[in-house]
């Protein structure tokens, strides 16, 4: 097939619109910087904490609904071995936003943090925070690679444009407008992207449903025609794996800096919570079109299309079923709308990941560790250099493979098994944890995750798990919810080791020169404060006993009698 010039032109026009919006938003950002009494870098990172409520809802939704979300939902419904019953993305994303609003938004927004690493730096200091920054950075880079790989595969299917070209073009545009205006550029371009995504996806649905090569999806939902019913089924033996995936999406999603960047950019706690609730509704609505497209693809006689046989699933192209359906089951102009929707979804996620990782590095690593006297201009410069560097890294990874699922697994796994327990402890149990426990929990979580392995990524497991079974293709399948198990073990390790270390140092069982986090010193300061307080109270009581002044309270006079 020759290069699809109309398709390339349509994407070019869309990117120009997005870029123009980014330029306009960058000017708004500069105006806000002049009005801002605080740090200029905070305007770039959290938008001066005055983001419009509708803009905050749109940018939060656009951050969650990326290319992986759209392609992944269609893929899982089309897959005859999974089906709708395994489409945990919409449920998990909705629950993630709701749980975040109920429990995580208030403690973070009330203290006016700038990044999610601030509470770690406040509690554990710089060294451990720098270590914890690494998994967060890796998760963001893997996420960038995930959505870019989704776009590259989609464009190559629909328009016969080389995947690396699509990846490079999208990454360049996203990096450029993110550099221009920080959070304002990201947020306002997200509005354009979300509107375009919403209209384009729903525009494609009627044409897909009316395809002459497809059977009514209500029939194939319960009847095996071309493949197993697209509704799928969940066996009792798979319940643990299903729950593990759901918790991975739900709790792992709360750990991303991109989520807190939106929360911290709002004016009040109530506005931040409302943003999350509203975004959860939009996420669910935007999940419906790809689910329907996956159902239609499962109900299609591909021999009646120019795609022919074998089917996309038999050719190993289930991950690209959405763009394949758009190309072979829709008129050409509808396919162009579909590719625009995916491009919008990809860019709305890339810019968020770029800004979040750059903000973490500039504030929590560069400013607080390497250059504590850095000026605001220096910090903003570091943010921009970081955006460029992380953008190139993500784009480079996306060109190495077309597998969206590989990077999605890597990104979500890192956040859930390594970071989730740490975040819960530092936000909700700060008085019960210390640096020793946090470091032990990090080591245990990483070690267990490596020992379990990941069959889907070709990483062999060295530690057997309960109820392991062999897949039909010979791969080892973990039925036990091992990711949740690792997270809980990591959480318990943090609490137990923190308590044990506190006992050792507070009781003087270990020398003070071993006490890296100064637990013994904190105890001595606390004891001095308590002694001083007791002494002050005794002096005050003795003074009142010697001189019961007319200003003494009735209770004091009674005690003297």
Q: What angle do CA 344, 346, 350 make, to 5 degrees?
A: 120
Which residue is it, tokens 């989609």?
Answer: 154
Question: Parallel, antiparallel, or unpaired for β 476-477 and 469-470?
Answer: antiparallel
- Specify which residues 214 forms β-bridges with: 300
Q: What is the pLDDT of residue 561?
A: 34
Which CATH homologous superfamily contains domain 14-29+42-417? Answer: Sodium/glucose cotransporter (1.20.1730.10)
In order, the DSSP letters of 199-211 are HHHHHHHHHHHT-
Q: Which tokens in the block code for residue 46?
A: 């959290």
Which residue is it, tokens 């991950």?
Answer: 319
Q: What is the pLDDT of residue 547?
A: 54
Residues 6 or more apart whose CB falls under 8 angstroms from that of 89 comprise 69, 72, 73, 76, 249, 287
- Specify which residues 90 forms β-bridges with: none
Contact 242, 88 (CB under 8 A): yes
Q: Is the peptide bond before 310 cis (omega within 30 degrees of 0)?
A: yes
Span between the terminal Cα atoms of the chain, in Å: 104
Q: What is the pLDDT of residue 185?
A: 79
Left (φ > 0), alpha (ψ -120 to 50) or beta: where does 182 sit? Answer: left
Q: What is the pLDDT of residue 171?
A: 81
Q: What angle do CA 161, 162, 165 make, to 5 degrees?
A: 100
pLDDT in tens, the chain (561 residues): 566 777 777 777 777 887 788 788 777 767 766 666 557 677 778 877 888 899 899 989 988 887 778 888 999 999 998 999 999 989 999 999 999 999 999 999 999 898 999 999 999 988 899 999 988 888 888 888 887 877 777 777 767 777 788 788 778 887 887 787 677 778 888 888 888 888 888 999 999 999 999 999 999 999 999 999 999 999 888 899 899 999 999 999 899 998 999 889 898 999 999 999 999 999 999 999 999 999 999 999 999 999 998 999 999 888 889 989 988 999 988 888 887 777 777 777 788 888 888 999 998 899 888 888 888 888 888 988 999 999 899 888 888 765 666 676 678 888 999 999 999 999 999 989 999 999 999 999 999 999 998 766 677 788 888 887 776 666 677 889 999 999 999 999 999 999 999 988 887 788 878 888 877 666 666 566 666 666 677 676 666 555 555 444 444 433 333
Q: What is the pLDDT of residue 194?
A: 87
* Residue 390 to residue 306: CA distance in whole angstroms: 40
Q: What is the pLDDT of residue 544?
A: 57
Q: What is the pLDDT of residue 286?
A: 93
Q: How do the domains of the chain map onto residue ranges? A: 14-29+42-417, 429-517, 530-560
* Residue 106 to residue 524: CA distance in whole angstroms: 33
Contact 401, 163 (CB under 8 A): no
Count, in order, helices (H) and strands (E) of the chain: 22, 2
Q: How far is CA 156 from CA 7, 275, 373, 402, 422, in A?
A: 11, 36, 48, 11, 40
* Residue 56 to residue 464: CA distance in whole angstroms: 45
Q: What is the pLDDT of residue 337?
A: 82
Q: Which tokens in the block code for residue 495?
A: 């609490």
Closest CA to 391 of 148, 185, 154: 148
The radius of gyration of the chain's CA atoms, rounded to the nearest angstrom, is 27
Q: What is the pLDDT of residue 560?
A: 31
Q: What is the pLDDT of residue 554?
A: 47
Q: How far is CA 521 from CA 129, 442, 508, 515, 525, in A?
A: 21, 25, 11, 9, 6
Q: What is the pLDDT of residue 449?
A: 92
Contact 437, 502 (CB under 8 A): no
Query: What are residue 300's phi and psi, to 5 degrees?
Result: -105, 140
Give the three-state DSSP class for 542: helix
Residues 6 or more apart whose CB falls under 8 angstroms from that of 46 comprise 114, 183, 261, 264, 265
Neighbours of 277 (CB within 10 A): 15
Which residue is it, tokens 């419009």?
Answer: 52
Q: What is the DSSP letter of 470?
A: E
Q: What is the pLDDT of residue 33?
A: 62
């Amino acid at each position: 097939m020759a290069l699809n010039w109309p398709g390339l032109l349509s994407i070019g026009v869309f990117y120009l619109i997005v870029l123009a919006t980014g330029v306009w938003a960058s000017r708004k950002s500069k105006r806000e910087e002049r009005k801002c009494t605080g740090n200029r870098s905070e305007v770039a990172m959290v938008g001066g904490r005055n983001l419009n409520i509708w803009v905050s809802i749109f940018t939060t939704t656009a951050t969650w609904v990326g290319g992986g979300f759209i392609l992944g939902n269609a893929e899982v419904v089309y897959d005859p071995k999974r089906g709708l019953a395994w489409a945990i993305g919409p449920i998990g994303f909705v629950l993630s936003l709701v749980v975040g609003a109920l429990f995580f938004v208030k403690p973070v927004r009330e203290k006016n943090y700038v990044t999610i690493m601030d509470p770690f730096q406040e509690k554990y200091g710089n060294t451990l925070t720098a270590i914890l920054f690494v998994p967060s950075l890796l998760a963001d880079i893997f996420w960038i690679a995930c959505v870019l790989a989704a776009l590259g595969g989609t464009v190559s299917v629909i328009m016969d444009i080389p995947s690396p070209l699509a990846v490079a073009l999208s990454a360049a545009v996203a990096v450029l407008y993110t550099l221009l205006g920080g959070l304002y550029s990201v947020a306002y371009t997200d509005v354009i992207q979300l509107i375009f995504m919403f209209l384009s996806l729903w525009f494609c649905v009627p044409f897909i449903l009316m395809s002459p090569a497809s059977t009514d999806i209500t029939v194939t939902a319960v009847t095996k025609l071309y493949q197993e019913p697209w509704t799928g089924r969940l066996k009792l033996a798979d319940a643990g794996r299903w729950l593990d995936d759901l918790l991975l999406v739900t709790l792992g999603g709360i750990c991303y800096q991109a989520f807190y960047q939106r929360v911290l950019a709002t004016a009040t706690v109530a506005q931040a919570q409302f943003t999350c609730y509203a975004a959860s509704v939009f996420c669910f609505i935007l999940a419906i079109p790809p689910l329907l497209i996956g159902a239609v693809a499962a109900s299609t006689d591909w021999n009646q299309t120019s795609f022919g046989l074998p089917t996309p699933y038999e050719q190993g192209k289930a991950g690209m079923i959405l763009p394949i359906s758009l190309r072979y089951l829709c008129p050409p102009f509808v396919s162009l709308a579909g590719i625009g929707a995916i491009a919008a979804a990809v860019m709305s996620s890339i810019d968020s990941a770029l800004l979040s990782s750059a903000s973490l590095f500039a504030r929590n690593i560069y400013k607080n560790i390497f250059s504590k006297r850095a000026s605001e201009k220096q910090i903003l410069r570091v943010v921009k250099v970081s955006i460029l560097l992380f953008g190139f890294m993500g784009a480079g990874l996306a060109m190495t493979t077309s597998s969206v699922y590989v990077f999605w697994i890597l990104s979500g796994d890192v956040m859930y098994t390594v970071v989730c327990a740490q975040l819960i402890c530092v936000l909700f149990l700060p008085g019960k944890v210390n640096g020793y426990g946090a470091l032990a929990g990090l080591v245990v979580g990483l070690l267990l995750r490596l020992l379990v392995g990941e069959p889907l990524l070709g990483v062999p497991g060295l530690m057997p798990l309960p109820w392991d079974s062999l897949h039909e293709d010979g791969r080892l399948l973990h039925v036990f919810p091992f990711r949740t198990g690792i997270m809980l073990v990591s959480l318990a390790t943090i609490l137990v080791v923190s308590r044990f270390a506190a006992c050792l140092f507070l009781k003087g069982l270990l020398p003070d020169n071993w006490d890296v986090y100064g637990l013994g010193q904190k105890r001595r300061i606390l004891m001095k404060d308590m002694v001083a307080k007791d002494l002050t109270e005794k002096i005050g009581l003795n003074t009142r006993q010697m001189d019961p002044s007319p200003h003494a309270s009735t209770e004091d006079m009674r005690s003297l009698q």
